[in-house]
């Protein structure tokens, strides 16, 4: 089966009892045992739930993995991926990562005795140069939040394999429709399913997908033991989101490319960044390792924070809000929002300025989106 068909059919056979086309919401905490010490297929919804299992199976298939595990948030999924590490272990990470991941690395993982080194993710050799005797994981995010740097996944995977190091990739910005890192040598893929997977800004969730049975067993043990799992209704909403992922991502990208080209022609903005523009320094890599360019656009406003405030007030259709990946178009100010946890020096080091704007392009009519941006930019220039 091809992608769009898998999104609708894998794990979603008609209900054998009623014939229902959609997977039911098994809104239950527990399940009856056949006899003492003999549970049925499910026994307790922290350990497993039929709705969650259908969702996990479908998501794994879309990532071309064998095993999917759902979590209550993207950050819970990140923490699960780190659960295989022990005190004294070392991570080499891209320096351009989501601010929440950075906060977890520095505020939680470091407190557990895990050491971190951050490198320029656009340079594969930087990962190799930072490897130490006890390096157990390489962490990449591609495209990176919010400046859309790409990591050469195959090159870094070759390094990880050579040194027998686990390679983890955050694939949130692309979704499995545009990129499937497991097919390029990655060991474990992480998602904030709040974004494109669910796609409607109505549920918080995360997921981890792998093709390795032993790794899955360790991650599944952590999932069950810690219990940071989504409820059945959240899983049902996310599974419903998967059904339209293919059509949504096509429209997201179509709109984003049109908006990026329009922004690049404006003299009132600086440094428009979008992997689908030939001006992106890694445009060739994006075409090689991705099936599409996604729907996130980043640019800078001259004038810093004051210009951002005027720009936000001038918008009607774009919403100034956290997150991304929903059907509605959003504006984020990374300096104060997605990367607000980082110090000013850390933000400036990786290229985030007070004037940096991140757009999540939705699926509205693109002419309306461009008109809204044009109006807001005129307001900014006043």
- Decide: 281 and 271 in contact? Cβ < 8 Å: no
248 is catalytic: no
12/1 Cα distance (integer angstroms)? 14
- Decide: 359 and 259 in contact? Cβ < 8 Å: yes
Pairing of strands 296-300, 356-360: antiparallel
89/132 Cα distance (integer angstroms)? 10
34 is catalytic: no
- Choice among 46, 103, 287, 375 that is catalytic: 46
9/3 Cα distance (integer angstroms)? 10
Q: How many helical (H) and strand (E) elements, i.e. helices and strands, does the chain have?
A: 14, 12
- Decide: 273 and 297 in contact? Cβ < 8 Å: yes
170 is catalytic: yes
Residue 305 has phi, psi (to 5 degrees) of -60, -40
- Choice among 79, 152, 170, 234 that is catalytic: 170
- Choice among 52, 136, 195, 300 that is catalytic: 195
Q: What is the DSSP-derived secondary structure letter of residue 110?
A: G
- Choice among 26, 98, 196, 274 that is catalytic: 98
- In order, the DSSP letters of 182-216 are GGGT-SEEEEETTTTTT-SS----EEEEES-HHHH
162 is catalytic: no
Q: By C-alpha distance, which of 132, 110, 175, 99 is closest to 341?
A: 99
Beta-strand ranges (E) seen in 252-355 are 270-273, 296-300, 319-320, 330-332
Q: Which residues does the annotation mark as catalytic?
A: 46, 98, 170, 195
């Amino acid at each position: 089966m091809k992608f769009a068909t898998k999104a609708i059919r894998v794990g979603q056979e008609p209900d054998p009892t009623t014939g229902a086309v959609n997977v039911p919401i098994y809104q239950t905490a527990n399940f009856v045992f056949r006899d003492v010490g003999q549970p049925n297929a499910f026994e307790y919804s922290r350990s497993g739930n039929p709705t969650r299992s259908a969702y996990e199976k479908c998501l794994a298939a879309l990532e071309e993995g064998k095993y999917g595990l759902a979590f209550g948030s993207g950050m819970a999924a990140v923490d699960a991926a780190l659960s295989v590490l022990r005190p004294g272990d070392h991570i080499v990470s891209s320096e351009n990562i989501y601010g929440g991941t950075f906060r977890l690395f520095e505020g939680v993982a470091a407190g557990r005795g895990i050491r971190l080194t951050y490198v320029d993710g656009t340079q594969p050799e930087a990962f190799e140069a930072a490897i130490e005797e006890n390096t157990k994981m390489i962490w990449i995010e591609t495209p990176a939040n919010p400046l859309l740097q790409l990591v050469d996944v195959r090159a870094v995977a070759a390094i990880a394999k050579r040194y027998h190091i686990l390679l983890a990739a955050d694939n949130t910005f692309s979704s499995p429709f545009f990129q499937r890192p497991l097919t390029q040598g990655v060991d474990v893929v992480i998602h904030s399913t709040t974004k494109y997977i669910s796609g409607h800004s109505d549920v918080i969730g995360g997921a981890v997908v792998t093709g390795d049975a032993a790794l899955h067993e360790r991650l599944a043990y952590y999932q069950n033991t810690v219990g940071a799992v989504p409820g059945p209704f959240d899983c049902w909403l996310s599974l419903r989101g998967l059904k339209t992922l293919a059509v949504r991502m096509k429209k997201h990208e179509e709109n984003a490319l049109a908006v990026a080209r329009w922004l690049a022609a404006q003299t009132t903005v600086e440094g428009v960044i979008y992997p689908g523009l030939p001006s992106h320094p890694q445009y060739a890599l994006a075409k090689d390792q991705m099936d599409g360019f996604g729907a996130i656009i980043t640019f800078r406003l001259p004038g810093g924070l004051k210009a951002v405030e005027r720009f936000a007030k001038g918008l009607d259709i774009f919403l100034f809000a956290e997150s991304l990946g929903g059907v509605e178009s959003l504006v984020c100010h990374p300096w104060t929002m997605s990367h607000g946890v980082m110090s000013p020096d850390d933000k400036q080091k990786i290229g985030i300025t007070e004037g940096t704007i991140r757009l999540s392009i939705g699926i509205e009519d693109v002419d309306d989106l461009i008109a809204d941006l044009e109006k807001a930019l005129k307001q900014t220039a006043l």
